Structure 1
Amino acid sequence: MQPVDPQAMRDTLRLWASGVSVVTTALATPTGNQRAGMTVSAFNSLSLEPPSILVCLSKATTTVNLMAESDVFAVSILSEDSAELSDRFAGRHNLAENADRFLGVETHTASTGSPILSAALAWLDCKVCERYDGNTHWIVIGEVVATGQRDANVSPLLYYDRGYRTIAP
């Protein structure tokens, strides 16, 4: 059997609509807090008892390296008006290399110390339970220790066919 061509895989997966979220983490250091965050679409509920979720994170990111040290993370579920935040944390914003992606972004601190984007539709604060090797990504399972939501009349930001979408009323 022939291996699947990576471009064919991309072309197929672009037809899967998914919510957009930003995974963040922080680590207290003697010189202050280090923060990192990245946009992800590979995020899922795993279990209600105990409450847990999973995220898939590229191994080649600052976020995954900092999370390996802190063992905590938060997921900010983005609303329809947050495409710019998604682009910023995906590295598609006009920021200098190694620029602070949080600069100018309003956040609050979760109980674990992870930053939560204040514009988020909803959020989950987590402790890392398990981490599995998934080739180019880590599959991270988090125990949810706190959650929060914003106004329920706001729609989520979706990603489909290489573009942002939202739910029609």
Structure 2
Amino acid sequence: MSRLAAGVVLVTAHDPDDGPHGQDAGMTATAFLSVSLDPPLVLVSLRNGSRMDDLLDEQPLWAVSVLAESQRQIAGRFAMKGRISDRLLFEDIVYARGEVSGAPLVGGALATLECRTEQRVLAGDHTLVIGRVLGVGLPSPEGVPLTYFRGRYRRLG
């Protein structure tokens, strides 16, 4: 599957139950796709038992930022499983809080989506989370998408 090029997104959620003001969580994903236009549905694949899988099992609201090629460092930071505390992940990253989800939406992303979980499907060692799109933003519609191919972030062309 490393020979299948994929777009790179950042999936985020806000955990209101974690501490006095809650806490944000995020993860880099390449297994993300549009499922339906009517109603607008998307799907993300989460590793079972991951922080995001556990959070989205409890919190139905989440967001997706479609990363631009210039955001390779953000993708790398959120892909470092277990190496960085959730409290430090968003440090120095420009983001706005989603009006619907409360989740971080990364500034400079090619597009942002705010979603509510519609269905969770267990599939081997992953869970497929299908979300209804509740809001869409185009913070930077003119960028080049970040892609992932053969184990590395790549530039198109």
Q: What TM-score results when the alignment is normalised by the length of structure 1?
A: 0.85
Secondary structure of the 1:100 match is helix
Quick one: which amino acid aligns to residue 89 of structure 2? Answer: R
Please report how far the alpha carbon of residue 167 of structure 1 lies from its aligned counterpart in structure 2 after TM superposition: 2.2
Distance apart, 1:157 and its partner CA:
0.2
Give the greater-gyration-radius structure (CA).
Answer: 1
> Given the superposition, is the C-alpha separation of residues 151 and 119 from structure 1 closer, same or farther in structure 2, using an over 3 Å criterion?
closer
Q: In the TM superposition, what is the alpha-carbon distance from 1:98 to its structure 2 partner?
A: 5.5
143, 146, 157: which one pairs with 1:157?
A: 146
Deviations along 1:66-100, one digit per CA (max 9) or x if unpaired, are 1211111111110010110000000179x545652
Equivalent residues, number:
155
Determine helix, strand or coil for the equivalent of 1:140: strand
Q: After the TM superposition, which of the residue ranges 16-25 and 30-39 deviates more from structure 2?
A: 30-39
Residue of 1, 16, 34 corresponding to 2:4: 16
Aligned to 1:122: 111
User: After TM superposition, what 4+ stretches of structure 1 lie above 6 angstroms from structure 2?
Assistant: none
Q: Which runs of 5+ in 1 are unaligned?
A: 1-12
Please list every run of 5 or more consecutive structure 2 residues that lacks an aligned counterpart in the other structure.
Answer: none
Give the Cα–Cα distance (whole angstroms) in 1 for the partners of residues 85 and 16 of structure 2.
23
Residue number in structure 2 paired with 1:91: 80
Residue 52 of structure 2 corresponds to which residue in structure 1? 63
* Identity across matched positions, percent: 32
Normalised to the residue count of structure 2, the TM-score between the two structures is 0.91
